[in-house]
Amino acid sequence: MLGLDFASTITPDFDKYIFVISISLCVLLGAFTFFKGVLDLKGSILAIVLGMLLIGYSDFFWFLLMLFFLMVSYGVTVFKYKKKKEMGISQGKVGERGVRNVVANGIIPLIIALFSSPLDEVSEGLSGILFLVAISIAASDSFGSEIGVLSGKPRLITDPRRIVEPGVDGGVSVLGNIAALLGGVLVAGAGYLLVTDRLITTGPHLLEASALVVIITVVMGWVGCQIDSLLGATLQTRGLVTNNMVNFITILLGVIIVAPLYIILS
Q: Is the pLDDT of residue 210 over 90?
A: yes
Report how far residue 245's alpha carbon sits from residue 49's, in angstroms, rounded to the nearest whole number.
Answer: 21
Lowest mean pLDDT among 76-80, 144-148, 230-234: 76-80
State the number of CA atoms in the 13 A half-sphere of 61 facing the CB.
18
Query: For the residues of 26-59, what is the DSSP string, one character each?
Result: HHHHHHHHHHTTSB-HHHHHHHHHHHHHHHHHS-
- Residue 261 three-state SS: helix
User: Which residues have CB under 8 Å from 83's CB, separation 6+?
Assistant: 150
Q: Return the CA Rg of the chain.
A: 18
Q: In what order do the strands lie in the sheet with 159-163?
A: 159-163, 155-156, 171-172
In angstroms, the CA 228 to CA 160 distance is: 16
pLDDT at 30: 78
Q: How far apart are CA 197 and CA 204, in angstroms?
A: 9
Q: Is the pLDDT of residue 82 over 90?
A: no
**Residues 34, 44: contact at Cβ < 8 Å?**
yes
Which of 42-51, 74-83, 97-106, 256-265 is modeled with the greatest confidence? Answer: 256-265
Section 180-205 average pLDDT? 95
Percentage of the chain modeled with pLDDT above 70: 88
